[in-house]
Amino acid sequence: MKHDEPIDEAPLFWNGQLEVNGRPLDTLSHQIIKKNDYTWIGMFTARVSDQAIDKTIDLQWSPKDFKGMENTTLAKGEWNFQLELSPTQAFSKKVNIPFGDEQYQLQFNQLSAGKYMTTLYFEGNIDNYTEFLMVDIQDNLGNVYENVGVTTSNTESGQTIGYIEVFIPDVNIQTLIITPSIRIVDEKTLKLKELIPLSSIKIPQD
């Protein structure tokens, strides 16, 4: 998004009806990076299929406005994007990158990287109901990634598994520096009880 006036608040790109091959989709995650005072770049994701897609898809996106995190309207218009998208190349590899402390033993066990996004899969012994993994992320070029979401679920054995999706805006980015923390909340009220910082980890992108 480029604007002729400074944009001080991150615009939410997921506004507007999103359709793929005529079928409405829900947005799963969203990430936005400030390039300068007048320009923001970002990505939102939606699950098209549980299977790998090797053919072109038709996408339609018709936003009417863009709001900020504080629900203020940053831009209005009548946009109607109709795109033909082909699959991009990606690779996936197993990794073994532990992180945590004496109480929390976690590890990144798989990395998937494509043209625009890296997904890090992890597992560990956090309680998926009262303990939540939070991440602050930077890269070797000095970019700061804000509001990066972490998706988790429980296995039958009681372990928590999850993934982190990171929008990568530059092909020259070689390393992600992730600083995790554990957010502990009250089981009934979900109010914050404690925030436990963990040591940073470097994740190479190749």
Please determine, for residue 15, whether its predicted confidence score (pLDDT) is greater than 70. no
Q: What is the pLDDT of residues 116-134, one digit of tens each?
A: 889 999 999 998 889 999 9
C-alpha count within 13 angstroms, C-beta hemisphere, residue 168: 24
Q: Which of 149, 31, 13 is nearest to 68 (CA)?
A: 13
Percentage of the chain exceeding pLDDT 90: 37
- Span 137-161, average pLDDT: 85
Measuring CA to CA, how many Å separate 77 from each of 16, 17, 63, 64, 171?
11, 14, 8, 5, 31
- The pTM for the full model equals 0.76
Q: How far apart are CA 109 and CA 104, in angstroms?
A: 16
pLDDT of residue 88: 81
3-state helix, strand, coil in the chain (%, to 5): 0, 55, 45
Q: What is the pLDDT of residues 48-69, one digit of tens each?
A: 877 777 889 999 988 888 888 7
Residue 197 amino acid letter: P
Tokens read off for 203: 């994740």
Q: How far apart are CA 33 and CA 52, in angstroms?
A: 28
